[in-house]
Chain A
């Protein structure tokens, strides 16, 4: 059953702590993306990767980091430099270019 899996579903972060969100896909898609969703703000692009070992900053990359060591995996680290990390994080993949995204089920991150 092909798809894209995000974990964990819920994550709680303490002040000053780095946390990593997992995103794995078995769709054989080249392109992967991370978006942040806040109420009333739509989806905003954090980072994207078009091929393995390459990634680019999106519109709101400050305080986040990523890696793309395998085609299937694109983990996102929320660092302590991100001052307002509470949000719903969505990972997506696509064949690239003008093709629709397949989204994961999301991770809801809360600062405690």
Chain B
């Protein structure tokens, strides 16, 4: 099955600086890579995703990059704000394409220092 590694487990940055979270995956058949944000006590919410036919996708202050050769993908948040503080999860589908469930990383706790 798919194995997803996520780093770092905790990331503290100054407000206004950039944050980068990295994930690696094991199954070369994975073709869809979502990122979820989970605020304390709340449900995870999809914030951005990328499919394997593109290398980068942006949505305002967030972006995701994908390197299929190296089997890793990253979340980039620019101009961080206090509301960006949360736990972020990456995920990958494995050979099943996602219909048989996503495999999630263990999460990164992002702390935005004022």
A residues contacting B by CB (< 8 A) are 31, 33, 35, 40-45, 48, 50, 56, 58-59, 90, 94, 96-106
Contacts and interface: CB of A to CB of B under 8 A. Distances in A.
A56 B106 contact: no
A76 to B, nearest CB: 14
B98 A97 contact: yes
B106 A41 contact: yes
A99 B98 contact: yes
B47 to A, nearest CB: 9
B31 A98 contact: yes
Contact of A98 (B36, B45, B93, B106): B93
A41 to B, nearest CB: 6
B95 interface: no
Nearest to A47: B101
Contacts of A98: 31-32, 51, 93, 97-98
A99 B44 CA distance: 15
A96 B102 CA distance: 11
Contacts of B102: 45, 101
Contacts of B104: 35, 42-44
- Which of B49, B89, B105, B106 has the most chain A CB atoms closer than 10 A to its own CB? B106
A94 to B, nearest CB: 7
